């Protein structure tokens, strides 16, 4: 009986592994440049990534370090690896597994601009060299570790050429059949581990070693989901869902959705060589509770050799050790999932507000509808000096406390965001039997730039990354508070001394610690209350907030989302800063208004009528949540209702030396104060107010030829323009449109 070709290959590989196990160790060659060599480490003989990898792999493996500082992949580069003694030594080693990390030095202007066309053929030739000395060699190519903005050539070429080389490495892996290891992603969020912006310290080398170890062995720590996928969660209704997870490589993942013990849906997928998997759930109607169970089981041996031939030595050696794993999420509801974020006024708890009794009474009746996931900071940014443990877990991006899902109750609501709770309350009361889930990860004092992903800042606003604590992009208060919190790390005599110490106000930090851990969660929309820590620089904030929306929309956009969501942009509902006697706030509020009018799918709720002249954390938050919900009901859910206060549509000069302002959302206008007008000299004077339908006529004996109008233009304002629904108008300033209006 003739054996199939696949079975012949399988038996041959079994024999090769048996030979390895009987006659010797699996030989692992780490080929690379200074990062592989361990440049900059105080004890590279114990701390370089190949040495740490050896400790992880243990007996049965021999790991050798063939790194050389300054080596280039390019044969015509300034220091070609193929001309170095380490290359000949690596060939003589005749490795079974070859891990190659080259390309960083090819970003040098002496190399990439002239010889980039030769990178792919040179890399393929290098791979072939190792396959000549050992035809059975398993080749693993590494996407390069990051080069951070502090590198001297970052903006002059390194950033751009690094990205181009990463793409070329992906092409080489695809064309050569080599396995690709991503060393960039796990380290790009840890600039604190790169003292010179290029070489990782011992901890960074450990992360590098662990990443290589997982790629070599397929051991990714077992079956996992992002922490927000937990008991009591809300998943989207009315659209197919794909859930991303992680497991050990080469596993069959079975997803089973049940209700009352009956199977509603089953699906299967495979985890890839990097451990990632995507499970499918069908379009579900609103309701619950359901139970969702994931089971990971090893593939059968013939599946291994068909899907993962490059990983045989470890696979077959450990095949019998693999056991099924199960992960179960109980009490899942299908409904709408929202993210509430920002700084302290979004963070302010229900039990800190003046409607506590009313909110707690509402919480009792919402237990079946409203589901809350709180993510407060583990250490507040109060005026204190943090101890070593806080400094450490902040650097490790563990600053947020993932407290799990809770149904609304007087107990769970007390410590939850008052704005977010009341937003959810109105949605529950307005949508028929639709469970509402709200995740709140607001951090007091946080800056806009801290919520934007690092890659976006590197490409769109790199200058804000440079020494933010001592620069002038950040507000002086925020920079001072950061310095106070991390003072222990800035003391050169301290054992915790670390000039690269992280802090929640750092650019990109809260994206890395509070947004990225959510995964590509299919949220319905965002409610956002932030700006107090950026109100000092309106122009910078306008750029930053635009980038923030782009950053989050890219992160939460799932290529597999339904056709509905592909046609709709992730909506942002923002709160305009309230009233407070700070000079820059009127112009900042007006800037927020203009942003909400120009950015796609962005709407604003006004809060100037609720502010407290003596406290930035005013206690009347219930109306803020309600106003955000009105905007969401109108623009996300399509309800026909009035959702905002009067907004200026048109400004012109009347024949009686008045300014005439026409308004939208103007049914039942009322106003007694708050308007000022100015001539072309820019000197504003209080205006007399006359309301006619959707228009307001403004005059002043001090202004003969009015050219501009502004409303609510003081830090703390008592301006009172509203419509019949009681919704207030925004602070605004407009210049006249050059035409005449008859009275």
Q: Determine the pLDDT at residue 305.
A: 52
- Please, which pLDDT band fits residue 304 given cuts at 50, 70 and 90? low
Q: Which fold has domain 334-378+404-461+510-635?
A: Rossmann fold (3.40.50)
CATH top class, domain 234-332: mainly beta
User: Could you tell me what percent of the chain has a pLDDT over 90?
Assistant: 89
| Rounded average pLDDT over 437-443 | 98
DSSP 513: I
pLDDT at 310 over 60: no
| pLDDT tens per residue, range 4-50 | 444 443 444 444 444 444 347 999 999 999 999 999 999 999 999 99
Tell me the three state secondary structure of residue 406: strand
Rounded Cα distance between 301 and 457, Å, is: 46
Distance CA 380, CA 64 (A): 45
Residue 316 confidence class, pLDDT cut points 50, 70, 90: low
User: Under CATH, which number does the domain 647-741 receive?
Assistant: 2.60.40
∠ CA(150), CA(152), CA(153), 5° rounding?
Answer: 110
Please name the CATH architecture into which domain 5-217 falls.
Answer: 3-Layer(aba) Sandwich (3.40)
Provide the phi-psi class of 218: left if phi over 0, else alpha when psi is between -120 and 50, else beta.
Answer: left
Mean pLDDT of 162-182: 97
Render the burial of 335-362: b for 16+ CB within 10 Å, e for the rest: bbbbbbbbbbbbbbbbeebebbeebbeb
CA distances from 74 to 32, 107, 143 (A): 12, 10, 16
Structure confidence by residue, pLDDT tens digits, 319-337 = 546 789 999 999 999 999 9
Beta-carbon count within 10 A of 675 CB? 24
559: pLDDT strictly greater than 50: no
Bridge partners, residue 728, by sequence: 722
- Interval 449-456 mean pLDDT: 98
Q: In what order do the strands lie in the sheet with 695-699?
A: 688-692, 695-699, 659-664, 647-654, 737-741
Question: Is pLDDT at 253 greater than 90 in this prediction?
Answer: yes
pLDDT tens figures, 102-120 = 999 999 999 999 999 999 9
Q: Is the pLDDT of residue 566 over 60?
A: no
Distance of alpha carbon 345 from alpha carbon 479, whole angstroms: 19
pLDDT digits (tens, 9 = 90+) for 681-695: 999 999 999 999 999
Q: What confidence tier does 738 reach under pLDDT thresholds 50, 70, 90? A: low
* Confidence bin at 318 (pLDDT 50/70/90): low
Spatial CA neighbour of 715 closest among 574, 614, 605: 614
SS3 87: helix
Closest of 465, 475, 570 to residue 507, by C-alpha? 465
Angle between helices 119-133 and 85-93 (to 10 degrees): 40
Residues 6+ apart with CB under 8 A from 714: 581, 586
Mean pLDDT, residues 523-535 taken together: 97
Segment 180-199 shows an average pLDDT of 98
Q: Is the pLDDT of residue 182 over 70?
A: yes
Residues 387-429: tens digit of each pLDDT: 999 999 999 999 999 999 999 999 999 999 999 999 999 999 9
Tell which wins on pLDDT, 223 or 21: 223
pLDDT in tens, 683-728: 999 999 999 999 999 999 999 999 999 999 999 999 999 999 999 9
- 330-364 tens-digit pLDDT: 999 999 999 999 999 999 999 999 999 999 999 99
Q: Residue 560: is its pLDDT beyond 60? A: no
More confident residue, 310 or 289: 289
| pLDDT at residue 101, as a whole number | 98
Q: Tell me, what's the pLDDT at 300?
A: 74
DSSP code of residue 135:
T
User: Is the separation of the CB atoms in 506 and 454 below 8 Å?
Assistant: no
| DSSP state for residue 3 in the 8-state scheme | P
Mean pLDDT of the residues in the chain: 93
Look at residue 6 in the predicted model and tell me its pLDDT. Answer: 42
Residues of each domain in the chain carrying CATH 2.60.40.10: 234-332
Nearest to 33 by CA among 99, 91, 97: 99
Cβ count near 19 (within 10 Å): 10
| Section 169-174 average pLDDT | 98
> Is 80 exceeded by the pLDDT of residue 127?
yes
């Amino acid at each position: 009986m003739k054996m199939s070709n696949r079975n012949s290959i399988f038996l041959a590989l079994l024999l090769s592994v048996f030979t390895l196990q009987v006659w010797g160790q699996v030989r692992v060659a780490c080929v690379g440049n200074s990062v592989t060599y361990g440049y900059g480490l105080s004890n590279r003989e114990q701390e370089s990534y190949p040495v740490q990898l050896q400790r992880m792999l243990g007996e049965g493996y021999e790991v050798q370090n063939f790194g050389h500082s300054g080596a280039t992949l390019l044969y015509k580069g300034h220091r070609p690896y193929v001309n170095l003694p380490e290359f000949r030594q690596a060939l003589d080693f005749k490795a079974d597994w070859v891990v190659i990390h080259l390309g960083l030095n090819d970003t040098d202007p002496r190399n990439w601009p002239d010889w980039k066309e030769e990178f792919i053929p040179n890399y393929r030739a290098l791979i072939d060299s190792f396959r000549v000395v050992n035809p059975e060699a398993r080749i693993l190519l590494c996407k390069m570790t990051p080069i951070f903005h502090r590198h001297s050539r970052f903006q002059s070429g390194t950033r751009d050429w690094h990205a181009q080389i990463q793409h070329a490495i992906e092409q080489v892996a695809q064309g050569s059949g080599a396995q690709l290891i991503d060393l960039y992603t796990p380290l790009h969020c840890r600039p604190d581990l790169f003292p010179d912006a290029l070489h990782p310290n011992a901890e960074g080398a450990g992360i590098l070693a662990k990443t290589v170890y997982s790629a070599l062995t397929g051991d990714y720590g077992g079956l996992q989901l992002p922490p927000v996928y937990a008991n009591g969660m809300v998943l989207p209704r009315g659209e197919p869902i794909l859930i991303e997870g992680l497991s050990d490589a080469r596993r069959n993942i079975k997803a089973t959705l049940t209700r009352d013990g009956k199977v509603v849906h089953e699906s299967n997928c495979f985890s890839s060589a990097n451990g990632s998997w995507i499970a499918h759930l069908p379009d579900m109607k609103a309701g619950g509770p359901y139970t969702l169970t994931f089971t990971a089981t090893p593939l059968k041996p013939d599946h291994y050799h068909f899907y993962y031939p490059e990983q045989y030595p470890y696979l077959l050696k450990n095949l019998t050790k693999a056991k099924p794993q199960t992960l179960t999420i109980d009490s899942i509801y299908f409904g709408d999932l929202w993210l509430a974020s920002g700084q302290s006024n979004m963070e302010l708890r229900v039990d800190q507000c003046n409607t506590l009794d009313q909110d707690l009474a509402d919480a009792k009746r919402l237990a079946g509808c409203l589901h809350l996931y709180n993510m407060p900071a583990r250490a507040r940014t109060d005026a204190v000096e943090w101890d070593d443990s806080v400094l450490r877990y902040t650097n490790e991006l563990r600053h947020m406390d993932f407290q799990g899902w809770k149904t609304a109750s007087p107990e769970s609501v007390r410590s939850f965001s008052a704005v977010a709770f009341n937003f959810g309350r109105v949605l529950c009361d307005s949508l028929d039997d639709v469970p509402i889930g709200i995740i709140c990860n607001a951090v007091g004092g946080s800056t806009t730039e801290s919520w934007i992903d690092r890659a976006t800042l590197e490409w769109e606003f790199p200058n804000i990354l440079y020494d933010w604590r001592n620069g002038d992009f950040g507000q002086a208060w925020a920079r001072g508070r950061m310095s106070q919190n991390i003072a222990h790390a800035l003391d050169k005599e301290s054992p915790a001394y670390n000039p690269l110490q992280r802090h929640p106000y750092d650019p990109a930090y809260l994206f890395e610690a509070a947004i990225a851990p959510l995964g590509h969660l299919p949220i319905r929309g965002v409610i956002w209350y932030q700006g107090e820590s950026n109100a000092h620089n309106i122009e910078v904030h306008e750029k930053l907030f635009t980038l923030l929306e782009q950053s989050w929309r890219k992160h939460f956009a799932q290529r597999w989302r339904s056709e509905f969501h592909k046609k709709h942009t992730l909506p942002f509902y923002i709160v305009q800063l309230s009233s407070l006697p700070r000079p820059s706030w009127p112009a900042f509020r007006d800037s927020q208004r203009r942003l909400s009018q120009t950015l796609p799918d962005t709407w604003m709720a006004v809060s100037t009528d609720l502010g407290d002249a003596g406290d930035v954390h005013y206690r009347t938050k219930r109306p803020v949540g309600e106003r955000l919900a009105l905007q969401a009901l109108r623009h996300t859910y399509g309800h026909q209702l009035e959702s905002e206060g009067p907004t200026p549509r048109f400004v012109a000069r009347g024949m009686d030396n008045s300014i005439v302002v026409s308004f939208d959302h103007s049914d039942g206008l009322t106003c007694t104060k708050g308007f000022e007008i100015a001539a072309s000299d820019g000197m504003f004077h209080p205006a007399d107010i006359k309301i006619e339908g959707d228009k307001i006529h403004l005059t002043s004996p001090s202004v003969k030829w009015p050219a501009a109008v502004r409303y609510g233009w003081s830090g703390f304002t008592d301006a009172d323009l509203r419509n019949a629904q009681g919704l207030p108008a925004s602070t605004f300033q407009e210049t006249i449109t050059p035409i005449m209006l008859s009275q």
